[in-house]
A and B are shown apart, each in its own frame.
Chain A
Amino acid sequence: MTDLISLKGVQKYYGDYHALRDIDLTIRGGEFFSLLGPSGCGKTTLLRVIAGFEEVSDGTVVLSGRDMKGVPPNERPTNMVFQSYAIFPHLSVAQNVAFGLRKRKDIDKASRKSLVEEALKMVGLAGYGDRRAHALSGGQRQRVALARALVLKPKVLLLDEPMSALDRKMREHMQVELIRLQRHVGITFVLVTHDQEEALVMSDRIAVMFEGEIGQVDEPEALYRRPKSRRVAEFIGKMNFLPARVTGIGPGATPVARPAAQDEVVPGRIPQSRAAVKLSGLMRRGGEPAADTPATPGEAMISLDIAGLGQAQVPMHQAPEGAREGEVAVGVRPETLAILFEGDQAPRHECPGTVDEVVYYGDMTYYDVRVKDVPQPLTIAMKNLMGRPVLEVGQSCRIGWDDRALVVF
């Protein structure tokens, strides 16, 4: 795939407010790309920069090989689905869809009509052409907005929080439909959303943004499993964080020299009673490839001593540079921890704990479990499988964990 959108060193200031900070980003042709972040992170501004509604303060925006400096929105190969859909209320559905076509001199009236019908059919609104905009539901408005943009066959379709006005059921339905539509038309979609679930479900790749900066660009699975920073991990899904110390890097690892007093004086992180750091066996345990986070053969492993949990080995690529020595944080997703019930397979590691809180979701139960020497209770997500009881607060239990599911920060 070729780079269709390329942003280099893009800066945007509103007065003193630095809305976009040195954005470098490439989006490939045919990709479903999402800009994900909390409100005010600059994701919509970035979308509007691509659309041409905002001029960049510095940096370049290149769309399909052409520098977009000074190119107004009506001359860019992009079309947009607005958050409010912006369906023209004084026009019928068909007139809305035909609105952009009237500027195309190469399309005569008859083919314009058939293009409009084709576009309405594509979004499932065949026969709605004569309706007025105010007679449409939220989902139908969104479809009209999609048809109105897609009928122009843009190189890029920009979607600004298109699901935020829909109720939950409709939203889930439209997510699936939008993916199908994107596959069908093959146009690059750039979606802005604050809903991490939506981004994970729909995107080929996601850029996570914070405070005008891009935190990480990755495929959904990589973003979820190997977040490169703690704030990405915190924003996407739930994650438990535990204090830990790197004890060595292997195989054939050299022990990390440990400053004498350091492990005793970090308040609130690692209790003093914690067992002394040992250089554990630096070989990968077991022969099987790690299911969650496969270490490439021969890849170095980082040995850690985690507060409350003890020794663990994590493949090098799970730990970004800068988190490979000294005091680190270990992240573990609630669903990669397990409360052990009778008959469960023996986990790689286990430790005792006490149930602190139970949140029952029907299909899932979320437990907060206190583990000795772990500062915060661990959140554990358990599927409510047939015959599996729901534990009560105060019950003691055993927790299973797997060092292949750990991420180091």
Chain B
Amino acid sequence: MSLRVYAIAYLIFLYAPIVLLPIFAFNDATIIAFPLSGVTTEWFGALVGNRSLQSALVNSLIIAGCTAVFATLLGICAARAGAMADYPGKRGITGFVMLPLVLPEIIVAVSLLVILRQVLGLDLGNWTIILAHVLICTPFSIAILNGAFGNLDPSMEEAALDLGCSRWEAFRLVTLPLVMPGIISSLLISFTISLDEFIIAFFLTGANPTLPVYIWGLLRFPAQLPIVMALGTILVGLSIILLTIAEIFRRRGITRSGGQDTGGFL
């Protein structure tokens, strides 16, 4: 009984703030407070006509898309090397590659800013954010793809070689289709992480802010707060959809390669 009470309290603690988001997004008042005063879609409408918001959104999508592709490509290389080949110091290297997973983002952000601006004297822009996002997304990508490649029977690729394929053909015709669910899952999760990321983007953003940075800017104007709520609602919905799709693909990959589920992010 007490366990059930604990579980319910835990869930409320976890999800109450997120539930409040859509409630106030549809509330017909500029002040974020109970009691609610009525239903409106005015705040969502305000989003549509907002030019600077759209440019921030486009920025974020470009950054998230590039990040997802680069992080996943790096992840494929690392996971394949980890699963197929045996090389000296493999454990240590794998651990080292995964390190950014636990590195505080603020540290990454500050050190990258120092390196890019002070040491290299480069201008900030979308590509600096992409660089930093690839850095933080690659460990996630490796973790997902390690599962996909690790579940793969090493005989599969050998069988393809044995049946007349070259190394590249064996990878393309057998390994790639089998790990494809993992690749899609990695793309989606990297995309989501990059889309939501604030701290690094805030430090490294140039003239054009990303969506989270733009939202943060809105907070200075209390009248805009309901618009932020509306935007937040959309972002949460989008994240949930993307992560669900990612998880579906990850699980499908495990059934396809006939392996055991060794846990994922969801």
B161–A73 contact, CB under 8 A? yes
Question: Is A366 close to B, CB under 8 A?
Answer: no
Interface residues of B in 139-189 (CB under 8 A from A): 153, 155-156, 158-166, 173-174, 177-178
Q: How far is the CB of B54 from chain A (nearest CB, A)?
A: 41
B178–A82 contact, CB under 8 A? no
Q: How far is the CA of A51 from the CA of B164 in the complex (A)?
A: 12
Question: Is A53 close to B, CB under 8 A?
Answer: yes
Given known A73-B162, A79-B163, A100-B164, contact A86–B155 (CB-CB < 8 A): yes
Given known A74-B165, A134-B258, contact A89–B178 (CB-CB < 8 A): yes
* Chain A residues, CB < 8 A from B244: none
B165–A86 contact, CB under 8 A? no
**Partner pick for A148 among B153, B158, B163, B165, CB 8 A cutoff:** B163
Given known A84-B153, A99-B160, contact A90–B177 (CB-CB < 8 A): yes
Question: Is A80 close to B, CB under 8 A?
Answer: yes
A79–B162 contact, CB under 8 A? yes
Q: How far is the CA of A73 from the CA of B164 in the complex (A)?
A: 8
Given known A90-B177, A99-B160, A152-B163, contact A82–B258 (CB-CB < 8 A): no
Given known A74-B166, A103-B163, A148-B163, contact A89–B158 (CB-CB < 8 A): no
User: What are 22 A-B contacts with C-beta separation under 8 Å?
Assistant: A53-B158, A72-B161, A73-B158, A74-B163, A80-B159, A80-B162, A82-B158, A86-B158, A88-B159, A88-B178, A89-B178, A90-B178, A90-B256, A99-B160, A99-B163, A103-B163, A103-B165, A104-B164, A148-B163, A149-B162, A149-B163, A152-B164
Question: Is A365 close to B, CB under 8 A?
Answer: no
Q: Which residues of A contact B (CB under 8 A)?
A: 51, 53, 72-74, 78-80, 82-84, 86, 88-90, 99-100, 103-104, 134, 148-149, 152
Question: Is B94 close to A, CB under 8 A?
Answer: no
* Chain B residues, CB < 8 A from A104: 164
A89–B257 contact, CB under 8 A? yes
Given known A88-B174, A89-B256, A90-B177, contact A74–B155 (CB-CB < 8 A): no
Q: How far is the CB of A213 from chain B (nearest CB, A)?
A: 26
In terms of DSSP, what is the predominant structure of the interface of chain B?
Answer: helix
Residue of A nearest to B167 (CB): A72
A74–B158 contact, CB under 8 A? no
Q: How far is the CA of A90 from the CA of B160 in the complex (A)?
A: 13
Q: How far is the CA of A84 from the CA of B155 in the complex (A)?
A: 7
B164–A74 contact, CB under 8 A? yes
A88–B156 contact, CB under 8 A? yes
Given known A73-B158, A103-B163, A103-B165, contact A86–B153 (CB-CB < 8 A): yes
Given known A90-B256, A134-B258, contact A83–B155 (CB-CB < 8 A): yes
Q: How far is the CB of A9 from chain B (nearest CB, A)?
A: 25
Q: How far is the CA of A73 from the CA of B155 in the complex (A)?
A: 13
Residue of B nearest to A87 (CB): B159
Q: How far is the CB of B86 from chain A (nearest CB, A)?
A: 10
Q: How far is the CA of A103 from the CA of B166 in the complex (A)?
A: 10
Q: How far is the CA of A51 from the CA of B155 in the complex (A)?
A: 13
Identify the interface centre among B158, B164, B174, B256: most chain A CB within 10 Å of its CB.
Answer: B164
* Chain B residues, CB < 8 A from A90: 177-178, 256
Q: How far is the CA of A341 from the CA of B138 in the complex (A)?
A: 78
Q: How far is the CA of A152 from the CA of B159 in the complex (A)?
A: 13
Q: How far is the CB of B91 from chain A (nearest CB, A)?
A: 17
* Chain A residues, CB < 8 A from B257: 89
Q: How far is the CA of A72 from the CA of B159 in the complex (A)?
A: 13
* Chain B residues, CB < 8 A from A86: 153, 155-156, 158-159
* Chain B residues, CB < 8 A from A79: 162-163
Q: How far is the CA of A305 from the CA of B168 in the complex (A)?
A: 67
B162–A74 contact, CB under 8 A? yes
Q: How far is the CA of A73 from the CA of B167 in the complex (A)?
A: 10
Residue of B nearest to A100 (CB): B163
Q: How far is the CA of A53 from the CA of B170 in the complex (A)?
A: 14
Q: How far is the CB of A275 from chain B (nearest CB, A)?
A: 60
